A and B are shown apart, each in its own frame.
Chain A
């Protein structure tokens, strides 16, 4: 809360993903591609294979254009965007890992220089000198992964660092090694996919057949390493995180499942590439690239969202609220800590508490989540944010501040009664009311399902239960809906009870 809040209509998650996914996709290719180039060049020079050398030169131009420009600059872009979206966490990372980044920068300098010399030296350098530069490029590029991997994995599993604050404890954290092996596998896989794209543009023939088969093998090898180490990675994430993810976090779990299915699809298509090696169509190579991008998007989505409610696990919440300051927030409230104020306290509190993950209408919108409800209900939900499914950060401010956020939101939602708003009645209206007021914690047939407890209850019983809702469990809000909505909700709860009976 030491910083202004960048209030943009685009969701923070989308902004982050737009830059980060492109970067990781290119930067991993930049590593694997470097290895592919130099190993293949070594083989081609040994066998005096001129067509392959010409192919590699073309690939090298593509490689320089993609990795040195888009790859390097989207990397800087990540730095820019995290500073805008979560400056506190970025500050914490820079203070703890500045020398990590500085070490990575030295590899970056070598990597960029080597890439340029490798590219410019195709025609002029001796074979031995050119290969030496190629190997230097690959080693420097991979070492930069070795370093940055420590900082990325730290954010999910800071491990002993939370107790010691020691650089190396944070760097060699529990997921460091599986992540490094997995990302190395991804590098190999992407090198295969990129090379396939270039090879697919060649005319059908022996050269194309051999090149496609070889590059597809790279892809398959990388995929196998990735798949095995991804499982290892999952197993090294502390059970407290994975258990909660399985229970109440649909986003990372969907993303994780997508990575598995996408890996299967990529593997199958790489196999198909080997079969169609002589006549590999460009479209198939493009589809493979798209699947590779989707795989990476899904994995990064998993990695980013499984950390919830934190941006640095156990240290800073996703909304920039610092765990270490919990007592101060409780004592003094949030407002005192917000350094940059807009003059609207409700808006400032909303920005620093909710806006990092939610917009009003766009990304993870709050307006539809509260349309037709009331101020008291919204305030109760804010106070119990950490109990809702989705694994949200707790609201650590004062009760009065929760009311201010509720008021801010209430002024911006549709305040008509729910029946008038959604033009429903009876059980249908009750189901809508249930989704709005109860579904944030209780999914029928899923997490927090309480349907069984309604079995055999009369309308009066259920009405009495609603009257005492706040006493039914920790964080439960009072029922504050109107009478029509209340009757409809009771009717719906009765249908749930009857279903259980059957």
Chain B
């Protein structure tokens, strides 16, 4: 039958990949602020290291950070599913229940953050149980994502696991594939969280010090976990070393160190920019690892490209307008007349 064939990419692969990596990095920024921030604030709350007002000023930001995390997470997931549908859906189906519970976990974490924020406003105290609940929810989501996306890079493993069990209750047993990467990501979140805590608490010595501590220690530990993960990529490590990704990774590491330097000088604008570009480099390196792991089984370049330029152009225009409108609304919000409306 002469029906349209859906097996195509509606834009060149490079364009889709660029959008995927860019939006994924933006998602990581928001996610790291929220996840890393919750960990640091909980740590400070338990050890009573900050005053309650400083704690609450962060807790109030978490619902917004969660909203940004979710919103910015939609686009990279869309582009990932566009290019790697067979890999991602297959892995998700094998772990179907774990995958689906992600939604419930995010809802619980989200409400917990609102609860913490509103309870803080009402009572003047940060709600530790609510923050712990939110942390548990987000940690669940992150480990499921690591497990499923790692599985998606091993089609043969998906076949084997599915042959054994079709119920969707299969957890990726190749823990070595993703545990270090997951740990690197959690520690990375703590690092970036430390940056934000230091930046936003720059006028309060205790808060700034805590941020600095987490930024430095987090970066050291994240680097160690990242290095260990890199070494665990043994079969593909040699090939990885010959790709541009190794340069991207090197630049990313140097930029991370540079961001520390400017953080100490309290030049948060330069420090933050370096940190963002560093994350972009790491996301690119991660993307290269995916391609190398799938090599021989799937090559995204094999997609037929049939561009849909008119809807793409509309997307681009809408994207620019959206950025401008959000900036405009933020300006309205921050420059508002402080007297009651």
Contacts and interface: CB of A to CB of B under 8 A. Distances in A.
Q: Do A and B come from one complex?
A: yes
Interface of A: 2-8, 19, 65, 68-70, 72-74, 76-77, 79-81, 83-84, 87, 90-92, 94-96, 98-103, 105-110, 112-114, 116-117, 120-127, 129-130, 132-133, 136, 140, 161-162, 164-165, 167-168, 314-315, 323-324, 326-327, 340-343, 351
13 contacts: A74-B103, A76-B70, A84-B99, A91-B85, A98-B11, A99-B312, A100-B311, A105-B78, A114-B329, A161-B4, A162-B3, A167-B310, A323-B1
A176 B208 CA distance: 54
Pairs of residues from A and B, 7 with the lowest C-beta to C-beta distance, nearest first: A165-B4, A99-B311, A92-B6, A87-B89, A7-B166, A77-B103, A106-B318
A98 B78 CA distance: 7
Contacts of A341: 163
Contacts of A351: 166
A96 B311 CA distance: 11
A136 B322 CA distance: 11
Contacts of B264: none
A103 B75 contact: no
Contact of B168 (A7, A98, A106): A7
Contacts of B17: none
Given A8-B96, A102-B315, A165-B4, A126 B341 contact: yes
A54 to B, nearest CB: 12
Contacts of A112: 67-68, 71
Interface in B122-148: none
Interface stretch (B176-184, B271-279, B332-340): B332-340
B162 interface: yes
Interface stretch (B107-115, B191-199, B282-290): B107-115
Interface string B300-341: 000000001011101100110110011001101100111011
Of listed B64, B94, B310, residue having the most chain A CB within 10 A: B64
Contacts of A165: 4-5
B310 A95 contact: no
A146 B270 CA distance: 40
Among B70, B311, B319, B341, chain A packs the most CB atoms within 10 A around the CB of B341
B168 A6 contact: yes
A69 B166 contact: no
Contacts of B86: 2-3, 91
A315 B107 CA distance: 35
Contacts of B312: 99
A95 B9 contact: yes
Given A84-B89, A125-B337, 20 more contacts: A4-B158, A8-B96, A65-B114, A74-B103, A90-B85, A95-B7, A98-B79, A99-B315, A110-B322, A113-B326, A116-B63, A117-B329, A133-B329, A133-B332, A136-B325, A165-B5, A314-B3, A324-B1, A340-B163, A342-B162
Given A6-B168, A7-B168, A98-B82, A340 B162 contact: yes
Contacts of B96: 6, 8, 84
A80 B99 contact: yes
Contact of A95 (B8, B93, B97, B333): B8
Given A106-B322, A109-B322, A126-B337, A69 B6 contact: no
B102 interface: yes
Contacts of B63: 116
B18 interface: no
Interface in B47-101: 63-64, 67-68, 70-72, 74-75, 77-79, 81-82, 85-86, 88-90, 92-94, 96-97, 99-100
Contacts of B319: 102, 106
Given A103-B318, A342-B166, A168 B310 contact: yes
Given A98-B78, A108-B71, A340-B159, A69 B85 contact: no
A83 B40 CA distance: 35
A201 to B, nearest CB: 18
A293 B111 CA distance: 22
Contacts of B70: 72-73, 76
Contact of B166 (A4, A101, A102, A117): A4
Contacts of B72: 109
Given A74-B103, A117-B332, A121-B336, A102 B75 contact: yes
A342 B93 CA distance: 14
A68 B8 CA distance: 33
Interface string B1-42: 101111111110000000100000000000000000000000
Contacts of A124: 333, 336, 338, 340-341
B167 interface: yes
Contacts of B75: 102, 105
A76 B332 contact: no
Contacts of A74: 103
A92 B10 CA distance: 12
B166 to A, nearest CB: 4
A14 B216 CA distance: 49
Nearest to B324: A110
Contacts of B102: 80
Contact of B1 (A80, A81, A140, A327): A327
B74 A108 contact: yes
Quick one: which of B4, B68, B81, B92 has the most chain A CB within 10 A? B4
A247 to B, nearest CB: 25
Contacts of A69: 107, 110-111, 114
A121 B114 CA distance: 16
Contacts of A95: 6-10, 82, 85
Contact of A125 (B8, B93, B321, B341): B341
Contact of B3 (A65, A114, A324): A324
B311 A103 contact: yes
B92 to A, nearest CB: 6
Nearest to A75: B74
A65 to B, nearest CB: 6
Contacts of B10: 95-96, 98-99, 167
A326 B103 contact: no
A308 to B, nearest CB: 19
A81 B329 contact: no
Contacts of A70: 107
B315 A106 contact: yes
B102 to A, nearest CB: 7
B280 interface: no
Contacts of B186: none
Name the residue in B9, B94, B96, B168 with the highest tally of chain A Cβ atoms < 10 Å from its Cβ.
Answer: B96
Nearest to A87: B89
Given A4-B162, A94-B82, A161-B4, A83 B92 contact: yes
Nearest to A132: B332
A94 B166 contact: no
Contacts of A123: 340-341
User: Most chain-B CB neighbours within 10 Å: which of A102, A112, A165?
Assistant: A102
Contact of B74 (A2, A84, A105, A132): A105
A99 B19 CA distance: 12
A77 B106 CA distance: 10
A315 B3 contact: yes
B103 A343 contact: no
Given A99-B312, A113-B329, A126-B336, A4 B106 contact: no
B322 A107 contact: yes
Nearest to A116: B64
B163 A343 contact: yes
Nearest to A125: B336
